[in-house]
Amino acid sequence: MKAVQYREVGAAPEVVEIPVPRPGPGEVLLEVTAAGVCHSDIAVMSWTAEQLPFPLPLTLGHEGAGVVAEVGEGVDTVRPGDAVVVYGPWGCGACVKCAQGKENYCLRAEELNIRPPGLGAPGAMAEYMIVDDPRHLIPLGELDPVRTVPLTDAGLTPYHAIKRSLPKLVPGSTAVVIGAGGLGHVGIQLLRAMTGARVIALDVSEEKLALAREVGAHETLISDDKAVGRIRELTGGRGADAVFDFAGVPPTTAIAQQCAGVESDVTIVGIGGGSVEVGFGTTAYETVVTAPYWGSRSELIEVYDLARNGDVTVHVETYSLDEAPKAYERLHANEVRGRAVIVP
């Protein structure tokens, strides 16, 4: 089968021919119907050999959808032909975090060398993929895999972040979204569907700001040194009640810190090396700063239920497996509108 692999530190991903895997006991083989392209892959491919926590080659793709092709011994909760999506942040299934469905925060994943597909385990950018356990599959039903596969990460990650801040996002409040890319353009829609907040979106690109308006942002601002002043003006001096930073680079975490109001939440989702210093006088009183990772299994079910209600529409650009390296180039050049999705 064809697979898109990261094979050598610093090199571009390559399309290669590898054997179709067979499911072992307890595992599920999916025929992949769609795989999303996330900016985190670009971060992983920028790491040095010392920083890389898993061996190469790696089949990419941590957003996956497919149809069950074959089940391993003992698997009886899914059947061949079932359309599913993959919950990516695999855990041990048994620790106290996993017991709560928060496998993204599994306490034993590192010790047991459990890694997400596409981020250590073979991922979804291939004709077939192995899922380690049927509990990591969520029924897709009638939804289109190509248009919804990004919800497994670009939906789930903002959903988890927003859900934490719901008590602060009452009518009259303001949410600032920094970065209207894959995660951000879904985050804006989730904020509109789940809260009464006014949404102010920031980006460096006018095209991304146009997309932000299209998906429901009330106000859009270029992300520069005037942005904080404009946010203060738009909120009558009060500042934002929640800031979601989907870029996470030093200039955006600085904006987040400065535009956050009293008793606000600052959530740093982007992994661009930025940070917010917390201490007396560095942030407004009682600002809560956090950097979450992905989301829980039950939250992924909730995200797909929102999609079923028609409350979130991912803007996708589609590519074949052969075109996947081009999709990464376009993402790197900040040219993707919404999310790039590979369709095997």
Minimum distance from residue 160 beta carbon to Zn ion (Å): 13
| 208, interface contact from Zn ion, ligand NAD, none, CB < 5-8 Å by kind | ligand NAD
Binding site partner of 92, from ligand NAD, Zn ion, none, Cβ cut-off 5-8 A by kind: Zn ion
Among the residue ranges 43-51, 86-94, 207-215, 318-326, the one whose residues contact Zn ion (CB under 5 A): 86-94
Select the binding partner of residue 9 from ligand NAD, Zn ion, none (C-beta < 5 to 8 A, by kind).
none
Q: Which stretch binds Zn ion (CB under 5 A): 27-35, 103-111, 239-247, 252-260?
A: 103-111
Q: Which is nearer to ligand NAD, 29 or 125 (CB)?
A: 125
- Whole-angstrom CA distances from 239 to 12, 52, 258, 265, 290 are 42, 39, 8, 11, 18
Give dist(CA 199, CA 178) in Å, integer: 11
Closest among 9, 92, 15 to 319, alpha carbons compared = 15
Quick one: 33 or 157, whose CB is closer to ligand NAD? 157
Say how far apart CA 174 and CA 323 lie, in whole Å.
40
Residues 6+ apart with CB under 8 A from 44: 6, 52, 119
Please report how close the Cβ of residue 113 comes to Zn ion at its closest, in angstroms: 13
Instruction: Please enumerate in sequence order all residues whose Cβ is within 8 A of that of 137, keeping only pairs 6 or more positions apart, or say none.
Output: 28, 68, 78, 82, 84, 85, 86, 87, 131
Among 29, 30, 37, 38, binds Zn ion (CB under 5 A): 38
Give the Cα separation of 253 and 270 in Å (integer): 10
- Degrees to nearest 5, angle at CA 43 with 255 and 184: 45
Shortest gap between Cβ of 239 and Zn ion (angstroms)?
A: 29
CB-CB contact of 125 with 321 (8 Å):
yes
How far is Cα 247 from Cα 266, in angstroms, rounded to an integer?
13
Among 26-34, 97-105, 191-199, 228-236, the segment contacting Zn ion (CB under 5 A):
97-105
Residues that bind ligand NAD (CB under 6 A): 38-40, 43, 153-154, 157, 178-184, 202-205, 208, 223, 246-249, 251-252, 269-272, 293-294, 331, 334, 336
Residue ranges that bind Zn ion, judged by CB under 5 A: 38, 40, 91-92, 95, 98, 106, 108, 153
